[in-house]
Amino acid sequence: MSIDPGKTPFAVTLDVGGSLLNKTGSWRSERPVYVDRLPPCNQACPAGEDIQAWLYSAEEGNYRDAWESLIVNNPLPAIMGRVCYHPCQDACNRGQLDEAVNIPAVERFLGDLALTEKWPAKIVNPPSGKRVLVVGAGPSGLSAAYHLARLGHTVEIQEAGPLPGGMMRFGIPRYRLPREVVDGEVQRILDMGVTLRLNHRVANIPQVLTEGGFDACFVAIGAHIAKHVDIPGPDAARIVDAVSFLRAIEIDGEPVQLGRRVVVYGGGNTAVDVARTVRRLGAEPVIVYRRSRAQMPAHDFEIDEALEEGVVVNWLRTITGSDEHGFKIEKMKLDENGWPQPTGEYETIEADTLVLALGQNVDQSLLTRLPGVALNKDGVVEVGADMATAFDGVFAGGDMVPAERTVTVAVGHGKKAARNIDAYLRGETYAPPPKSEVAVFETLNTWYYTDAEQKVQPVLDAVRRRTTFDEVYTGLDAGNALFEARRCLSCGNCFECDNCYGICPDNAITKLGAGKRFEFKYDYCKGCGMCAAECPCGAIAMTPEAT
């Protein structure tokens, strides 16, 4: 071993088997570094929210800052906190410790508080002088309009329907999403200077672009066309589709005449929503689904809530016909591959009306008229990674493109399209920032955290749910929202707990001040790894010394 005078006093050069290893410190073969890993909640969010960042502000009671951080990516938090199926919460590392953080409940609290306090959204860029047309006032179109306005562009939404919100208004019942919440979130976007033209159907995009002086277009028409199936029988008037049924309630205030008993055919969330709506209207709903409950695409919690409310579900059944008494049902059984097969056994369900809830399609004719624009095998428009269609300046998202059809996904599409449209208008290419490695549960040191059970949102009792469209879940109050936000483990990102600073035996860690975290003084660090072992959130990694 020889001392190298060209290095620090602790540096040595070791000759091991003919190879040289440079070490800064006679004890160290690896050094600690601070890292910022990607929280699993952030990774799982289809809208691309920086969930950990706004939870960090919320746990300090800085609700305005938390909301400002939240709407950088999602302009509809009061809506999303109610209707999102929370993949973020499913991915939460805390779920492996005790219970996942109730992220949607805190998001809803912030969104509701912003509506109550009438907090405005900020425009971050100066006016660009560019005009963008958005076709469709559903979640994707509203999201795109918000982000484009935020970036300084002039935006006009043209909506074929009489009210904004798309399937949030016409597909999600009031007991899940009160309409005053939708109206409030939409109004904030309009207050940014976005123009909304209702009852205005776009028929020719190039013509509208030219006549309106638009520089780009985002098309986000929702899936409003119901799928049908032929049901042999004498009285087709007794059969309606789920989209028409829910839309009639929303626009007219009165549904179609249902009768005493209603069969709902389908197994998705829309089928469950229809059945629960029918129950609230005083009729007796029966869901018929051709597969088992385990194969039912509706979410488990929605099925459970429907059963609590008195909805009857007949699994492994299919409708083969109807007569004056009701609907003929064939029993099914699963084969060895899990596929339903007919048994030849039949029964009759006496009912007055059949509601078909077999899925929805999108009218793609507006885009397929454009040269070069094509549909894929699933009947949706092909777009690039930038959400652009083959027609220059026209982008598409939401239900029109290949993706899961949820509000959260649609909001994410609108944001992604807006950022790419912004780049297109500036003659640039948008490059999303690179993502760090995910902070998995194994990188955490959970001994630091005490057990703290999730705060449960109050639920309307089942009796009242059967007779009223009042919201099923109540939001958290300020105290519970604060508690819930503080349950966040800050996975993969330093929150300045001072553990590393206090545990270091060599005083090799310097505090840089509030919000600035720490830095290592490698001249004094011997690489013992105690800082990494004691970091609760896994924000320190031990890396090999350079050779």
pLDDT value at position 261? 94
pTM, entire model? 0.90
Q: What is the pLDDT confidence band of residue 546, given thresholds at 50, 70 and 90?
A: confident
What is the secondary structure of 38-101 as a DSSP string? BPHHHHH-TT---HHHHHHHHTTT-HHHHHHHHTTT-S-HHHHHHH---HHHHH-GGGGTSS--
Cβ–Cβ < 8 Å for 41, 67: no
Over residues 176-222, the pLDDT tens digits come to 999 999 999 999 999 999 999 999 999 999 999 999 999 999 999 98
Over residues 253-304, the pLDDT tens digits come to 666 788 899 999 999 999 999 999 999 999 999 999 999 999 999 999 999 9
Cβ–Cβ < 8 Å for 268, 406: no
Share in percent of the chain as helix, strand, coil (round to 5) = 35, 20, 50
Task: Give the chain's domains with CATH numbers.
Answer: 2-36+494-544 (3.30.70.20), 40-120+440-485 (1.10.1060.10), 131-225+361-425 (3.50.50.60), 248-357 (3.50.50.60)
25: alpha, beta or left? (left if phi > 0; alpha if psi -120 to 50): left
CA dihedral 464, 467, 473, 478 (to 10 degrees): -60
Q: Cα(523)–Cα(390) distance, rounded to whole angstroms?
A: 57
Q: What is the pLDDT confidence band of residue 236, given thresholds at 50, 70 and 90?
A: low
pLDDT value at position 255? 61
Give the list of residues 6+ apart from residue 11 with CB closer than 8 angstroms, or none.
4, 22, 23, 24, 25
SS3 call for 141: helix
Q: Cα(511)–Cα(501) distance, rounded to whole angstroms?
A: 7
- Residue 538: closest CA among 37, 91, 31: 37
Over residues 37-76, the pLDDT tens digits come to 999 999 999 999 999 999 999 999 999 999 999 999 999 9
Cβ–Cβ < 8 Å for 224, 360: yes
Q: Which two tokens mark 499?
A: 């553990």
Q: What is the pLDDT confidence band of residue 455, given thresholds at 50, 70 and 90?
A: confident
Dihedral sign, Cα of residue 42, residue 48, residue 53, residue 54:
negative
pLDDT value at position 8? 35
What order do you get walking across the sheet with 2-3 strand by strand? 2-3, 11-16, 19-24
Cβ–Cβ < 8 Å for 242, 271: yes
Q: Cα(55)–Cα(61) distance, rounded to whole angstroms?
A: 10
